[in-house]
Amino acid sequence: MANPSILILAGDGIGPEVMAEVKKIIGWYDAKRGITFDVSEDLVGGCAYDKHGTPLHDDTMAKAQDVDCVLLGAVGGPKYDSLDFSVKPERGLLRLRKEMDLYSNLRPAQCFDALADFSSLKKEVVAGLDIVIVRELTSGVYFGEPRGIFTEGNERVGINTQRYTESEIARVARSAFELARRRNNKVCSMEKANVMESGILWRQVVQEIHDKEYPDVELSHMYADAGAMQLCRWPKQFDVIVTDNLFGDLLSDAAAMLTGSLGMLPSASLGAPMANGRPKALYEPVHGSAPDIAGQGKANPIACILSFAMALRYSFDLGEEATRLEQAVEKVLADGVRTADLMGPEGGVPVSTSAMGDAIIAALDASL
């Protein structure tokens, strides 16, 4: 049987720097666990634009549809700020999500004990935190029509449309309820049903799916603005949060700071099952290309490494190996190894991106 396949799209800025550490870990699984992946690499984002004049070449899109999963680093950067909107680096990522139909984006926010002191929130608020935001990823205001910048009378008007169909809401709701059943059986759905019709429909459909198919799961509803407040006030009240594309984008960046750094947050974007029974999938850190630190060897690779752990679990059914990798990360943090973003006001000497990767490999070795 062929080896499982991975397409790596490292992208721009710190993307290739953090992905280099994931490649070391893929090499470790091959050498030390006899788990071999067929890895291919290609371009996405600004680097693809530089080479092909488009942030995602059709051939790359076709490859992404053909592999067991895609690992993505990050896209974007100031060099591309003045490009036409249609070829901006971010459009490449959005095309991947849309054409692979990756409607369920799992963004776990977990506070490792060793970092509880480091969060900008009080230790007791974040210690032991373990929640997952399930963000709808292929619809909503990111993709709704009409959209564009138009002229009305003598001024310009910018238009985006928040649009959700019943089936789009239902499928992401199911994904959240299924996840909750494997966790603490609790879902909080967030929208703004007080001001948006799409929010009213969201609330109705989530409630209907719950009542018909998941009555055993505890369900609550919250307005997304209040949800943002509650995430900062007492995040441990949540288990699984399900929300739309834009609210999920904002809430997951906020949740990142509960864990100490944006450099810690992984994500899995999942679609419908493929012929092998595993979901179509793309794994990527929640953070971006971090132009302010790119090229300096300062980036924290943990978000990207934990995204690979999610790939082991969801795409390759290697839950025990995923846990091994997560525990290696936990051990390294407990040992006090820190990249610059994890340095508190008391200071200390940060390690480089590659030294963090090496420390995690050493912890993997120690796990054998």
Where do contacts with Mn ion occur on this chain (CB under 5 A)? Answer: 249
* Site mask for ligand NAD (CB under 6 A), range 89-118, x = bound: -x--x-------------------------
Query: Where on the phi/psi map is residue 153: left (φ > 0), alpha (ψ -120 to 50), or beta?
Result: left
- Taken in order 340, 342, 346, 351, the sign of the CA dihedral is negative
The stretch among 164-172, 224-232, 296-304, 308-316 that binds ligand NAD (CB under 6 A) is 296-304
**For residues 57 and 287, which CB has a smaller minimum distance to ligand IPM in the complex?**
287
Residues whose CB falls within 8 Å of the CB of residue 38, separated by 6 or more in sequence, listed in order? 2, 3, 4, 5, 6
249 classed as catalytic = yes
Is 280 annotated in the active site? Answer: no
Examine residue 119 and tell whether it contacts ligand NAD (CB under 6 A): no
Whether 225 is catalytic is yes
Residues with Cβ within 8 Å of residue 152, at least 6 apart in sequence: none
Q: Which of residues 61-90 bind ligand IPM (CB under 6 A)?
A: 76, 90
Is the Cβ of residue 73 or residue 260 nearer to ligand IPM in the bound state? Answer: 73
| Per-residue buried b or exposed e for 64-89, using 16+ beta carbons within 10 Å of the residue's own CB | beebbbbbbbbbbbeebeeeeeebbb
Whether residue 358 lies in the annotated active site: no
- The CB-of-178 to ligand NAD minimum distance in angstroms stands at 24
User: Would you state the structure tokens that stand for residue 132, as one six-digit string?
Assistant: 């997952």
Ordered DSSP codes for 171-186: HHHHHHHHHHHHTTSE
Q: Would you say 82 is a known binding-site residue?
A: yes
Of 171, 288, 324, 328, the residue at the interface with ligand NAD (CB under 6 A) is 288
Q: Verify binding: residue 199, ligand NAD, rule CB under 6 A.
A: no
Which tokens sit at 44?
A: 């996405």
In angstroms, the CA 48 to CA 110 distance is: 33
214 noted as active-site residue:
no
User: Per the annotation, does 288 bind a ligand?
Assistant: yes
- Interface residue with ligand NAD, options 188, 293, 332, 361 (CB under 6 A): 293
Candidates 160, 181, 119; CA nearest to 345 is 119
Q: Hey, is 293 helix, strand or coil?
A: coil
Looking at 142, 164, 214, 283, which residue is catalytic? Answer: 142
Q: C-alpha distances in angstroms, 162 versus 58, 98, 105, 186, 269?
A: 28, 16, 18, 27, 21
Return the range that interacts with ligand NAD (CB under 6 A); candidates 143-151, 183-191, 236-244, 290-298.
290-298
**107 assigned binding-site residue:** yes
- From the list 249, 280, 314, 341, the catalytic residue is 249
Which of the ranges 56-64, 138-146, 178-186, 299-307 carries the binding residues for ligand NAD, by CB under 6 A? 299-307
Cα 33 to Cα 28, 71, 320, 324, distances in angstroms: 7, 20, 12, 11
Angle between helices 166-182 and 197-213 (to 10 degrees): 50
- Choosing from 30, 50, 130, 253, the catalytic residue is 253
First-last CA distance in the chain: 26
Tell whether 295 is in a known binding site: yes
Find which of ligand NAD, Mn ion, ligand IPM, none residue 262 binds, CB within 5 to 8 Å per kind. ligand NAD
Binding site residues, ligand NAD, CB under 6 A = 14, 18, 74-77, 90, 93, 262-263, 284, 287-293, 299-300, 303, 341
Catalytic residues: 142, 192, 225, 249, 253
Which residue ranges make up the annotated binding site for Mg(2+)?
225, 249, 253
